[in-house]
């Protein structure tokens, strides 16, 4: 019978592959086959699909702190290799540029769901840098997802036609043209989405192509697209979809029209991954996680800073963070030039009522900026390397009438320069300006050679003659266009130049635009990006206040990215740990409407449970930590107000230990460098701040959590009368020399080890509430003696023995939540409100006490 079913299955295999299982069953029944034969054929087909899936992808591997199905490209892939080949032809080096892109995009695809899962709805966020290649990254992600049979690709490309068109062109060039038979397009270069007849034809099984749609975040367009999708609803369950939301903080968050339409589109797709991309994620990080919205609940990922990228910190420097020495923090390059406050009213109207009839006055600083732009462009012509385009940005106002008012004065300056380039006095002024600037920023510091004034002078007339004066705004017809040969341009603009669009070869910026929020300020910084061949030449003219704001913003960015990295290095998710954003007295983090769900972050560690996860495995490091732990327990035994010992349960507790002993321990214990949260300097400063400002954390409870004395894992003595059995914590694979990642140390119940009453069934929020009630000002420090061998029990493919040279001391700290009205211990941060989120935790009890008792 088996052979007969096999033969029948081969006959009807194509029938099963060409439609839904329900359609196939009906066709098989029409052919007169018995019900049991039909069922056996269906079962054989399902077994075949499972076998194919298992051959294509491993069940699960650990990659970057997450279990995943995707581990990277395969030899038979078509879309990603084509992207990589095009980039290589465009001059991208394999190492590091393409290899870095490969690694970063693999990480993101690994966080998506397997396209063959029956149903999923993923929410993720990717945080890049302004002008850093986010489009290239999501193109690589789309290519790899297409190689694994994602079907529908929707790109929400900002709110302006220019960015949508630019994105469409990039995706067509890198995805569609190399594999034209594999793609169908719902949009093209010249028009946004227009509904077509028979939407189902794009998603039926007879259409094997991937479907690409690049649309603006425009309510009318999205409404048409959602209606069109609905007409194909019967076929969408077989069409795994990837939605890329470019500039995901713009229009997506807290809008009455766009936000509901994006969610409506997602809800129509039974298998859908939504991934936002932005360099200014402040609004996205403050969405209410408990609401039916677009909070990135499944993952948030930092893109690595690309080699050679000019970012906020590079240009403006930043302030030292807690735990850093100020002299070790980059102070930025000397590329910022001051615009006096008195100049502002000359280049933009101070009140809206003054806009009509406004005529700008070309100040000395603006003249210097323009002259330097022409000089630096001539110098780049001498070098003959790097980007062939050269652009200057003037951004003083969002008002298009103000932009247009600059045309005549700028054209007058150009004409005046053209007529006087043989004037010795002018030439001396130009020489002095050039020599001063090149002395302040030596070319040699960037691997370049200084161009002398006499070398660039012959090129200067041609540069000025070729320079275009362009008003690029929503009402202008004359727009920046880099597609028809090298461009030299002075561009005056506002919002159309502030997001997504790349100002090619941007050398000089004159920026005095008044802004009120981090995201607006950051996106206005079109000077961020790559400066290959002229890294020594960019300059920015702005007010001292704006410079200080950007320096603050560089600090905010660094802290934010450090918090985001916790998701990849600690046992945290966006639903258990909210990224904190430092506030500023004069700037909002984002628009007020986007901050309605934000809460003031009480402190760096208030209400948090911090635990060691990473360890060295060399004996010297491990024994130093053992010494620190034994010293703490000796002091605790002498100073505690109360001691509770249960060696038969593997528990010891010392109540009321002075905070000085805890600080001494933190100074002596070695935390692994990868442990972002476990920074001894930050922990100590936080404790001291709480002690001094609020009188909290003066006393600590110090606990030891192990196995019962005499367990088969062996015992560990902290002091002559303080001994417990060692616990088992196997490490994750793959691993590296002198390194162990155990993923999780503490169980939830350990955070309640010093609480009175029955706490066994309490959830995380309930434990926090009990701590606030019973021990509102007392910290908890827990020590764990981990067996140096720690064989995984039961064996797991993702785990291997600890294999350390000596026993490991793990540390957990539980900090009480400061009272809501105790502003003296609050830091100046806001974050998403996770209070409405309930998360189930892994219970580690069986391994510790039952299997080894």
C-alpha pair distances (Å), 313 with each of 249, 358, 579: 21, 35, 20
Averaged pLDDT, 769-790: 95
Q: How remote is the C-alpha of 752 from its chain's centroid?
A: 33
pLDDT, position 614: 87
Q: What is the pLDDT of residues 153-186, one digit of tens each?
A: 999 998 888 889 989 999 999 999 999 999 999 9
Of 9-23, 205-219, 469-483, least confident by mean pLDDT is 9-23
Would the pLDDT of 810 be above 90?
A: yes
- 852 confidence band (pLDDT: 50, 70, 90): very low
Q: Note the pLDDT tens digit of each residue in 4-29.
A: 666 665 556 555 555 555 666 666 66
pLDDT computed for residue 706 by the predictor: 97
pTM, 2 dp: 0.70
CA distance 45 to 36: 14
The strand pairing partners of 544, in sequence order, are: none
Token pair recorded at residue 363: 């100040």
pLDDT in tens, 379-388: 999 999 989 9
Query: What pLDDT score was predicted for residue 622?
Result: 98
What does the pLDDT average to over 273-278? 97
Q: What is the mean pLDDT of the chain?
A: 86
At 853 the pLDDT is 25
Query: Long-range contact list for 619-625, CB < 8 A, 24+ apart?
Result: 619/805, 619/806, 621/670, 622/788, 622/804, 622/805, 622/806, 622/807, 622/808, 622/809, 623/806, 624/668, 624/670, 625/669, 625/670, 625/808, 625/809
For residue 210, the cross-strand partners are 183
Please give the radius of gyration of the chain, using alpha carbons only, rounded to the nearest integer. 31
DSSP character at residue 769: H
Give the range among 57-66, 152-161, 549-558, 642-651 with minimum mean pLDDT. 57-66
Position 745 confidence tier, pLDDT thresholds 50, 70, 90 = confident
Give the residue with greater pLDDT, 842 vs 370.
370
CA–CA separation, 483 and 492 (whole Å): 19
Give the CATH number of domain 77-303. Answer: 3.40.50.300
Q: Is the pLDDT of residue 448 over 80?
A: yes
Least confident segment among 496-505, 536-545, 642-651: 496-505
- In this prediction, residue 326 has a pLDDT band, given cuts at 50, 70 and 90, of low
Range scoring the smallest mean pLDDT among 97-106, 111-120, 186-195, 729-738: 729-738
Q: Is the pLDDT of residue 234 over 50?
A: yes
β-pairing, 699-705 with 651-658?
antiparallel
- Percent share of the chain, pLDDT over 90: 56
| pLDDT of 287 higher than 80 | yes
Q: Per-residue pLDDT for 322 more than 60? A: no
Average pLDDT score over residue span 752-776: 88
Phi, psi angle pair for 534, to nearest 5°: -150, 35
User: In this predicted model, what pLDDT tens digit does every residue of 793-806 receive, in sequence order?
Assistant: 888 766 899 999 99
Higher pLDDT, 15 or 779: 779
* Per-residue pLDDT tens digits for 679-705: 888 788 889 988 987 788 999 999 999
Q: How far is CA 670 from CA 613, 700, 809, in A?
A: 12, 20, 10
pLDDT score recorded for residue 34: 73
At 393-445, the pLDDT tens digits run: 998 888 888 888 999 999 999 999 999 999 999 999 999 999 999 999 999 99
Model confidence at 766, pLDDT cuts 50, 70, 90, reads: confident
CA nearest to 700, candidates 819, 817, 815? 815
In this prediction, residue 48 carries a pLDDT of 57
What is the model's pLDDT at position 522? 84
Q: What is the DSSP string of 273-321?
A: EEEEEES--HHHHTS-TTSSS----SEEEEPPPPTTEE-HHHHH--PPP
Alpha helix (H) residue ranges in 334-397: 341-347, 364-383
Distance CA 677, CA 577 (A): 11
State yes or no: pLDDT of 600 exceeds 80: no
Mean pLDDT of 614-627: 96
pLDDT at 547 over 60: yes
Which of 49-53, 317-321, 508-512 is most confident?
Answer: 508-512
Q: Say what the pLDDT of residue 22 is.
A: 60
Q: Would you state the structure tokens that stand for residue 204, as one six-digit string?
A: 């039926």
pLDDT, greater one: 828 or 752? 752
Select the highest-mean-pLDDT range: 25-34, 321-330, 331-340, 774-783: 774-783
Give the pLDDT band of residue 59 (cuts 50, 70, 90): very low
Residue 501 has pLDDT above 80, yes or no: no
Q: How confident is the model at residue 131, as a pLDDT? A: 79
Mean pLDDT throughout 726-739? Answer: 85
d(CA 186, CA 647): 69
**Domain boundaries, given as residue ranges, for the chain:** 2-56, 77-303, 314-543, 609-850
Backbone CA torsion sign across 833, 834, 835, 837? positive
């Amino acid at each position: 019978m088996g052979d007969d079913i096999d033969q029948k299955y081969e006959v009807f295999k194509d029938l099963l592959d060409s439609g839904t299982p329900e359609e196939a069953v009906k066709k098989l029944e029409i052919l007169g086959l018995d019900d049991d034969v039909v069922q056996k054929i269906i079962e054989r087909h399902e077994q075949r699909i499972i076998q194919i899936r298992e051959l294509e992808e491993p069940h699960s591997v650990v990659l970057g702190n997450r279990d995943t199905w995707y581990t990277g490209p395969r030899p038979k892939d078509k879309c990603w290799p084509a992207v990589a080949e095009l980039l290589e032809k465009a001059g991208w080096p394999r190492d590091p540029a393409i290899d870095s892109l490969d690694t970063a995009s693999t990480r993101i695809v690994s966080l998506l769901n397997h396209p063959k899962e029956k149903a999923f709805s993923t929410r993720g966020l990717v945080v890049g840098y302004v002008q850093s290649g986010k489009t290239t990254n999501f193109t690589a992600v789309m290519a790899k997802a297409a190689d694994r049979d994602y079907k529908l690709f929707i790109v929400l490309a900002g709110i302006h036609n220019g960015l949508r068109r630019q994105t469409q062109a990039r995706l067509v060039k890198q995805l569609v043209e190399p594999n034209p038979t594999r793609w169908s397009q719902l949009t093209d270069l010249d028009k946004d989405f227009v509904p077509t007849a028979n939407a189902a034809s794009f998603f039926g099984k007879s259409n094997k192509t991937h479907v690409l749609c690049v649309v603006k975040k425009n309510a009318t367009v999205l409404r048409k697209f959602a209606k069109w999708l609905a007409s194909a609803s019967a076929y969408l369950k077989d069409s795994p979809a990837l939605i890329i939301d470019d500039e995901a903080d713009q229009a997506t968050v807290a809008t009455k029209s766009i936000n509901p339409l994006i969610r409506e589109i997602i809800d129509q797709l039974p298998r859908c991954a939504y991934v936002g991309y932005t360099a200014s994620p402040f609004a996205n990080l403050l969405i209410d996680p408990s609401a039916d919205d677009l909070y990135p609940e499944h993952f948030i990922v930092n893109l690595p800073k690309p080699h050679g990228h000019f970012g906020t910190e590079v240009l403006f420097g930043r302030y030292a963070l807690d735990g850093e020495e100020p002299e070790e923090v980059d102070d930025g390059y000397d590329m910022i030039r001051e615009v006096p406050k008195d100049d502002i009213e000359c280049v933009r109207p101070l009140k809206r009522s003054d806009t009509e009839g406004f005529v700008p006055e070309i100040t000395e600083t603006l003249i210097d900026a323009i002259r330097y732009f022409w000089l630096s462009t001539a110098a780049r012509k001498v070098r003959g390397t790097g980007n062939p385009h050269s652009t200057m940005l003037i951004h003083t106002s969002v008002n298009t009438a103000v932009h247009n008012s600059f045309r005549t004065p700028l054209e007058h300056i150009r004409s005046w320069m053209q007529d006087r380039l043989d004037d010795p006095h002018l030439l001396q002024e130009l020489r002095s300006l050039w020599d001063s600037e090149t002395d302040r920023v030596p070319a040699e510091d960037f691997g370049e050679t200084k161009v002398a004034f006499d070398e660039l002078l012959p090129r200067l007339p041609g540069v000025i003659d070729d320079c275009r004066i362009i008003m690029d705004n929503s009402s202008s017809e004359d727009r920046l266009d880099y597609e028809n040969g090298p461009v030299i341009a002075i561009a005056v603009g506002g919002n159309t130049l502030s997001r997504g669009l790349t100002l090619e070869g941007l050398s000089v910026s004159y920026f005095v635009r008044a802004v009120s929020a981090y995201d607006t300020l950051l996106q206005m910084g079109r000077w961020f990006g790559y400066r290959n061949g002229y890294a020594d030449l960019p300059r920015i003219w702005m007010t001292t206040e704006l410079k200080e704001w950007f320096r603050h913003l560089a600090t905010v960015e660094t802290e934010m990215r450090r918090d985001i990295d916790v998701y990849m290095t600690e046992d945290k998710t966006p639903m258990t740990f909210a990224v904190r954003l430092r506030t500023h007295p004069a700037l909002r983090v984002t628009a007020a409407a986007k901050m309605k769900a934000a809460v003031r972050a009480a402190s760096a560690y208030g209400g948090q449970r911090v635990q060691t996860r990473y360890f060295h495995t060399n004996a010297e490091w491990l024994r130093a930590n053992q010494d620190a732990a034994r010293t703490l327990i000796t002091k605790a035994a002498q100073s505690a107000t109360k001691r509770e010992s249960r060696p038969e349960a593997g528990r010891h507790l010392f109540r009321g230990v002075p905070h000085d002993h805890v600080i001494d321990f933190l100074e002596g214990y070695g935390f692994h460098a990868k442990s972002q949260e476990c920074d001894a300097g930050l922990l100590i400063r936080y404790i001291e701040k709480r002690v001094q400002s609020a009188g909290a954390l003066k006393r600590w409870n110090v606990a030891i959590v192990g196995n019962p004395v005499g367990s088969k894992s062996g015992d560990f003595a902290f002091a002559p009368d303080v001994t417990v059995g060692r616990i088992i914590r196997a490490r994750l694979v793959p691993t590296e020399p002198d390194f162990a990642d155990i993923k999780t140390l503490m169980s939830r119940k350990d955070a309640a080890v010093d609480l009175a009453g029955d706490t066994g069934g309490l959830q995380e929020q309930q434990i926090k509430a009990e701590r606030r009630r019973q021990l509102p000002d007392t910290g908890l420090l827990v020590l764990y003696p981990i067996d140096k061998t720690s064989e995984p029990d039961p064996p797991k493919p993702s785990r291997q023995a600890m294999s350390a040279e000596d026993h490991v001391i793990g540390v957990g700290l539980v900090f009480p939540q400061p009272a809501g009205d105790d502003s003296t211990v609050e830091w100046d941060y806001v974050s998403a409100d996770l209070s409405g989120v309930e998360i189930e935790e892994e219970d580690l009890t069986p391994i510790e006490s039952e299997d080894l008792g």
